[in-house]
Amino acid sequence: MPETTKTPQLKLHTGRFLEKWVNCLKQAKADGNPFGLEIFSRAIAKQFSEDEANAPYLAHHKIPALDGDSEDFRKKVIAKCRSINATLKRDMKGKSLPMPKKLDQSSRAFSASYFINNIDGAADFLE
């Protein structure tokens, strides 16, 4: 019987995903901005691109990193959020976390301020 090789799967560790989700919610609230799918998806892509467990997935697809701007990746992020929320609703008496929302163009204007606040030393250069 010929040996079949399994395609490496993307691994989005639930604990780390949930921690990033809560941190992004906190950041959006602190900045007074909506919790946007675009920024959240990029943050998740960055975090899990650096995860050693995803090295085989990246190598198999011949990509240096996950693309948080791709529609396919955003669908995976939404699916993971829904899965986590289903578990939370079941185990925590109906409670869940806010889902990231796809924002219109005017709502995305805050993305530069969001990212600049997360870059060490960037504030020193603002005039």
Can you give the residue ranges of every domain in the chain?
14-102
Answer yes or no: pTM beyond 0.85: no
Q: How confident is the model at residue 33 (pLDDT cuts 50, 70, 90)?
A: confident
Query: 75 pLDDT band (50/70/90 cuts)?
Result: very high
CB-based contact 69:27 (threshold 8 Å)? no
Token digits for 73? 């990746």
Q: Give dist(CA 54, CA 60) in Å, integer.
A: 10
